[in-house]
Amino acid sequence: MTSAVSQSPLKPLPQLGAGEAFPDVNIQHELSDEMPGLVAVGGALGVATLKRAYSQGIFPWFSDGQPILWWSTDPRMVLKVADFKVQPSFKKTLKKFASGYKCGSMGAIDCEVRFDTAFERVINACSATPRDGQRGTWIVPQMVDAYIALHKAGFAHSAETWVNGELVGGLYCVNIGSAVFGESMFSHATDASKIALAALVCFCRTNGVELIDCQQNTSHLASLGAKEMPRSEFVAEVKARVSQLMPVWQFSPQLWQQLL
Average pLDDT rounded to a whole number, residues 79-94: 95
Tell me the CATH number of domain 76-230+237-258, given options 3.50.50.60, 3.40.640.10, 3.40.630.70, 3.20.20.105.
Answer: 3.40.630.70
User: Cα separation of 132 and 219, whole Å?
Assistant: 9
**Which of the given ranges, 17-21, 77-81, 92-96, 102-106, has the highest pLDDT on average?**
77-81
Query: How do residues 173-223 score in pLDDT, each as one tens digit?
Result: 999 999 999 999 999 999 999 999 999 999 999 999 999 999 989 898 999
pTM of the model: 0.91
Single-letter amino acid code for the residue at 182:
G
What's the fold here for domain 15-71? Alpha-Beta Plaits (3.30.70)
Average pLDDT over residues 226-235: 97
- What pLDDT sits at residue 18? 81
- Give percent of the chain with pLDDT exceeding 70: 90
Q: Where are the domains of the chain?
A: 15-71, 76-230+237-258
Q: Is the pLDDT of residue 129 over 80?
A: no
Nearest-angstrom CA–CA distance, 228 and 110 = 37
Q: Do the beta carbons of residue 62 and residue 69 sit within 8 Å?
A: yes
**Mean pLDDT (whole number) for 151-177:** 97
More confident residue, 101 or 116: 116
Same fold for the pair 15-71 and 76-230+237-258:
no
Average pLDDT over residues 154-179: 97
Contacts of 78 (CB under 8 A, 6+ apart): 211, 212, 213, 214, 226, 227, 228, 229, 234
Residue 3 has pLDDT above 80, yes or no: no
d(CA 47, CA 12): 27
Q: Please write down the HEC assignment for all residues of the chain.
A: CCCCCCCCCCECCCEECCCCCCCCCCCCECCCCCCCCEEEEECCCCHHHHHHHHHCCCEECCCCCCCCEEECCCCEEEEEHHHCCCCHHHHHHHHHHHHCCCCHHHCCCCEEEEECCCHHHHHHHHHCCCCCCCCCCCCCHHHHHHHHHHHHCCCEEEEEEEECCEEEEEEEEEEECCEEEEEEEEECCCCHHHHHHHHHHHHHHHCCCCEEEEECCCHHHHHCCCEEECHHHHHHHHHHHCCCCCCCCCCCHHHHHHCC
